[in-house]
């Protein structure tokens, strides 16, 4: 690969979605002595077949300079994905990968580590695992200012959640992933969470929603009498066709609550990213938000006292990434240039082999002007993080 010509072609681009591919001991390697026995081993089943073999092969490649040189002879974006990708699991390689890809900022999520603890109702396990994860993400991204690590803040207990955010900020977390479903018998818009929103607003740190963080399609919809199918990665837990339309339902409920219950009004500088959850639902959702406001405000004081329309709060404070097969040009035409963001999903296969090429083709077809393209490729990301445009 010619290192003087990155994948971006020298254009300014910020990447709203990428991932660490965790090794088997990645989370426990960042545990304190007291935390080490709190969590289960890394569950690899969701990654499809042969995950442990893939991890071992990737570790062997990293130890082999000749194999690494061979890997770098092909374009990274269209090369091997998952653990086999260059920069998948180590920060040193990821920094070099960013040189080759050309992204000037990259939001970095975990992949499987949250599955080791995030579903627990045991506060010690839940918040202990959160502390490990946030320490690990901060450490992975600490050496390169281009990488913005995403931590986790479980809302089960508002006080413990606030402490997790405070500690995560000290650990270097630059955005906090929240589950989009209610926790602990509370809406995410509950007043008990206001200290969290206040802290994040003051620190200019966004919250983010991501696929895997909310209830999806009820499993019974896959009980059809036909032979069961695996997902496209060969496992049984990721997206199948009927799952796709439902991934945005829980995030829509979350956003409706934060808008209708005035969280975004009380905290006007709090930003929310909606990542790897699709975006084609956004134009219709903006209309539904405003329709619901008009239809029910007579009976609901919080709706009556909103200072903006719900869609205006969304446009001001919510940013949404696209899958590479979505029509960026049409979405910008329908919903505006201030919402949508480019994302590569590197090194996950869902990001495709040429996301820039696919997005550019859509933007060209819709004759999207240069200023709106800039917002898509970097400006809306910058706004989410309160960075200079």
DSSP per residue over 16-38, as a string?
EEEE----TTTTGGG--TTTTTS
Q: Is the pLDDT of residue 327 over 70?
A: yes
Residues 235 and 46: beta-carbon distance below 8 Å? yes
Residue 125 has what pLDDT? 97
In sequence order, the 6+-apart residues with CB closer than 8 A to the CB of 194 are 263, 266, 267
Instruction: Give the pair of three-digit tokens for residue 318.
Output: 């919510």
User: Three-class SS of residue 270?
Assistant: coil
Residues 306 and 265: beta-carbon distance below 8 Å? yes
**With bands split at pLDDT 50, 70 and 90, how would you rate the model's confidence at 47?**
low
Q: What is the mean pLDDT of residues 234-240?
A: 61
Q: Is the pLDDT of residue 322 over 60?
A: yes
Q: How far is CA 196 from the centre of its chain?
A: 19
In sequence order, the 6+-apart residues with CB closer than 8 A to the CB of 259 are 289, 306, 310, 313, 314
Q: What is the mean pLDDT of residues 6-28?
A: 97
Bridge partners of 183? Answer: 186
Q: What is the mean pLDDT of residues 348-355?
A: 96
Strand 318-321, strand 272-275: pairing: parallel
Question: Tens digits of per-residue pLDDT, 189-209?
Answer: 999 999 999 999 999 999 999
In sequence order, the 6+-apart residues with CB closer than 8 A to the CB of 221 are 242
Residue 2 has what pLDDT? 46
**With bands split at pLDDT 50, 70 and 90, how would you rate the model's confidence at 331?**
very high
Q: For the domain with range 16-39+48-221+230-384, which CATH number is right: 1.10.150.20, 1.10.260.40, 3.20.20.140, 3.40.140.10?
A: 3.20.20.140
- Residue 288 phi/psi, 5° resolution? -65, -40
Residue 232 has what pLDDT? 59
Please provide the average confidence, as pLDDT, over all residues in the chain.
95
Q: Rounded distance, CA 174 to CA 148, Å?
A: 5
The span from the first CA to the last CA of the chain, in angstroms, equals: 30
Q: Rounded distance, CA 336 to CA 283, Å?
A: 9
Question: Tens digits of per-residue pLDDT, 79-102?
Answer: 999 999 999 999 999 999 999 999
**What is this structure's pTM?**
0.96
Bridge partners of 272? Answer: 207, 318
Residue with tokens 């979605």: 17
Domain map of the chain by residue range?
16-39+48-221+230-384
Residue 44 has what pLDDT? 65
Best CA proximity match to 206, nearest among 75, 83, 317? 317
Residue 107 has what pLDDT? 99
CB atoms within 10 A of CB 185: 7
Question: Tens digits of per-residue pLDDT, 270-305?
Answer: 999 999 999 999 999 999 999 999 999 999 999 999
Query: Percent of the chain beyond pLDDT 90?
Result: 90
Residue 45 has what pLDDT? 61
Strand order in the sheet with 272-275: 14-19, 105-109, 147-152, 175-177, 207-210, 272-275, 318-321, 340-341
Residue 233 has what pLDDT? 58
Q: Rounded distance, CA 75 to CA 83, Å?
A: 16
Q: Rounded distance, CA 238 to CA 215, Å?
A: 13
Residue 245 has what pLDDT? 93
For the ranges 67-76, 237-246, 251-260, 334-343, which has the lowest average pLDDT?
Answer: 237-246
Residue 175 has what pLDDT? 99
């Amino acid at each position: 690969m010619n290192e003087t010509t990155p994948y971006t072609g020298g254009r300014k681009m910020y990447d709203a979605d990428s991932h660490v591919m965790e090794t088997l001991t990645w989370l426990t390697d960042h545990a304190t002595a007291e935390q080490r026995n709190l969590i289960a081993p890394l569950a690899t089943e969701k990654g499809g077949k042969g995950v442990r073999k893939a991890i071992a092969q990737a570790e062997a490649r990293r130890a082999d300079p000749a194999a690494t040189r061979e890997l770098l002879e092909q374009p990274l974006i269209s090369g091997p994905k998952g653990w086999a990708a260059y920069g998948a699991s180590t920060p040193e390689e990821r920094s070099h990968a960013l040189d080759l890809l050309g992204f000037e900022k990259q939001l970095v999520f975990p992949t499987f580590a949250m599955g080791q603890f995030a579903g627990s109702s045991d506060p010690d396990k839940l918040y202990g695992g959160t502390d490990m994860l946030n320490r690990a993400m901060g450490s992975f991204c600490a050496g390169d200012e281009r990488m913005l690590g995403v931590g986790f803040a479980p809302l089960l207990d508002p006080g413990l959640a606030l402490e997790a955010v405070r500690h995560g900020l000290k650990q270097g977390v630059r955005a906090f992933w929240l589950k989009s479903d209610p926790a602990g018998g509370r809406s995410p818009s509950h007043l008990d969470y206001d200290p969290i929103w206040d802290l994040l607003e003051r620190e200019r740190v966004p919250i983010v929603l991501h696929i895997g963080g909310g209830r999806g399609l009820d499993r019974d919809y896959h009980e059809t009498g036909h032979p069961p199918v695996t997902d496209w990665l060969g496992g049984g837990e990721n997206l199948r066709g009927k799952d796709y339309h439902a991934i945005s339902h829980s995030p829509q409920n979350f956003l409706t609550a934060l808008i209708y219950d005035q969280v975004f009004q009380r905290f006007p500088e709090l930003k929310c990213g909606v990542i790897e959850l699709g975006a084609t639902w956004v134009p219709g959702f903006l209309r539904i938000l405003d329709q619901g406001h008009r239809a029910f405000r007579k009976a609901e004081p919080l709706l009556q006292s909103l200072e903006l329309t719900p869609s205006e709060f969304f446009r001001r404070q919510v940013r949404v990434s696209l899958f590479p097969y979505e029509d960026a040009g049409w979405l910008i035409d329908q919903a505006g240039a201030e919402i949508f963001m480019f994302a590569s999903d590197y090194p996950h296969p869902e990001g495709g082999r040429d996301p820039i090429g696919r997005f550019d083709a859509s933007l060209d077809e819709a004759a999207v002007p240069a200023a709106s393209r800039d917002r898509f490729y970097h400006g809306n990301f910058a706004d989410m993080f309160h960075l200079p445009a």
